[in-house]
Amino acid sequence: MGQRFVTSLKLPPAPKSDSWSQPRSRALSDRPPLNSLADPSKGHHFEQIPIHPAGLMGARSAATSPPAGGLDARRSGVQEDGAGGEVQFTTTINEPRVIRRPEPSTPDAGTAGGVTDAGVAASAGSGSGSAGSGSGSAPAAVPCNCVVSLDANGSGAIEGSYGINDYWPGVTPYWGAHKTLGSFDETSGSGKLFGHKFQVIGKFKSGTGTVAGEPTFKQKARLSEGTSSPGTTGGWFDDMDYTDAGGGVHAWDPNAEAGTTVKTGYPGVRRTIATDKYSYTDPPAIYYEAGTTNTYRKLEFDICFSSPAGCSCGVIQSCISRTQEIEVKRGVPSTLKSP
């Protein structure tokens, strides 16, 4: 068993409306503070930057429960009322969390398929003509790809020939060396951007099924923020598709090749780095000003790589968890945890 970290939080009341139903075109942005980033001449084009913003505590944070198959959540029995109960989240370090296809069960010889020997004899003599009727045939098998494994690296050289700039075409770089993973602290306008570059790698293999398909990535996140640790924790949201507290719309597709668009307004950030590997990168960062900023921000990521429906795969889904936790005191940032 790995280490387990436990965090308690109060669930907010259910939102009165579904803000996720509104269409979004996403401009990437961190807004910590907005007024210092409004003038493009002071720094990077922040409306294009895929920074995870401060202030994601409202209805735009989406669901309050952890991702399905991800972090373990169970009710504690405290304050089970209309204002929401207390939920205890338990994060297990052992990775990955794998959902496999169940092995087919072997029916008892005397009751194969739940039909008794007497029932088989009765149907055989019924004269129904069902045996060998040729009423239908199995659909032809088609090629598809199945999940093998999922991992995320947060240090060393990036895997594959592409650098982070190649995953995010058209986005102003703010992460320093684009082929090296790990921490960065880059000047941006009147302040700096402090963060960590990590790479998600999904390995797959050829399979067959009734429908052709590719395995898909899904990255969800949960944000805790404040002026100091532990901050206030919000709900889980789709980390590639959300509207931040500053109004910036984020809409990226981790399953389309970088620079291409599958869904209008959702540029791809995936790269094929080998004949059996897909990958994308993420450089989450926080803005601060030296000598003055006091802030805390924790991002918990839950990342899953899923086999396509209709493909006869042994692994249905593989998931991992990663966390970035940063505290800035009097304008000096420190990493409490990095992905």
For the chain, the average pLDDT equals: 75
Give the model's pLDDT for residue 28. Answer: 32
pLDDT digits (tens, 9 = 90+) for 221-263: 999 999 999 999 999 999 999 998 888 999 999 999 999 998 8
Task: Determine the 3-state secondary structure of 124 from DSSP.
Answer: helix
User: Which of 28-42, 56-70, 129-143 holds the top average pLDDT?
Assistant: 129-143
Q: Is the pLDDT of residue 98 over 80?
A: yes
Give the model's pLDDT for residue 245. Answer: 83
The answer to whether residue 121 is domain-embedded is: no
Lowest mean pLDDT among 12-16, 71-75, 260-264: 71-75
pLDDT, average across residues 120-131? 41
Provide the 8-state DSSP code for 227. Answer: S
Q: Which of 116, 110, 316, 84 is nearest to 209 (CA)?
A: 316
Q: How many independent structural domains does the chain possess?
A: 1
pLDDT, average across residues 104-110? 59
Give the model's pLDDT for residue 246. Answer: 85
How far apart are the C-alpha atoms of 328 and 296, rounded to whole Å? 6
The one-letter code for the residue type at 325 is E
Give the model's pLDDT for residue 106. Answer: 62
Residues 6+ apart with CB under 8 A from 267: 169, 170, 252, 253, 256, 258, 259, 260, 261
The answer to whether residue 19 is domain-embedded is: no
Give the model's pLDDT for residue 52. Answer: 65
Q: Which of 192, 207, 196, 156 is nearest to 309 (CA)?
A: 207
Q: Is the pLDDT of residue 78 over 50?
A: no
Give the model's pLDDT for residue 140. Answer: 81
User: pLDDT grade, residue 135 (50/70/90)?
Assistant: low
User: Which is higher by pLDDT, 240 or 103?
Assistant: 240
Q: In the chain, count of helices (H) and strands (E)?
A: 3, 20
Give the model's pLDDT for residue 119. Answer: 39
Largest CA distance in the chain: 90
pLDDT digits (tens, 9 = 90+) for 198-209: 999 999 999 999
Give the model's pLDDT for residue 109. Answer: 52
How far apart are the C-alpha atoms of 77 and 213, rounded to whole Å? 42
Structural domain of residue 204, as residue ranges? 4-13+25-100+140-337
The answer to whether residue 118 is domain-embedded is: no
Cβ–Cβ < 8 Å for 261, 255: no
Q: Is the pLDDT of residue 65 over 80?
A: no
Cβ–Cβ < 8 Å for 242, 60: yes
Q: Is the pLDDT of residue 59 over 70?
A: no
Lowest mean pLDDT among 52-61, 182-191, 313-322: 52-61
pLDDT, average across residues 77-97? 45
Q: Is the pLDDT of residue 114 over 90?
A: no
pLDDT digits (tens, 9 = 90+) for 287-311: 999 999 999 999 999 999 999 999 9
Give the model's pLDDT for residue 57. Answer: 54
Q: Is the pLDDT of residue 17 over 70?
A: no
User: pLDDT grade, residue 54 (50/70/90)?
Assistant: low
- Paired tokens of 287: 């803005």
pLDDT, average across residues 78-107? 57
What pTM value is reported for the model? 0.69
The answer to whether residue 122 is domain-embedded is: no
pLDDT, average across residues 183-192? 96
Give the model's pLDDT for residue 324. Answer: 97
The torsion of the CA quartet 56, 60, 65, 69, rounded to 10 degrees, works out to -90
Give the model's pLDDT for residue 126. Answer: 42
Give the model's pLDDT for residue 333. Answer: 97
- Paired tokens of 313: 């795969």
Cβ–Cβ < 8 Å for 235, 61: yes
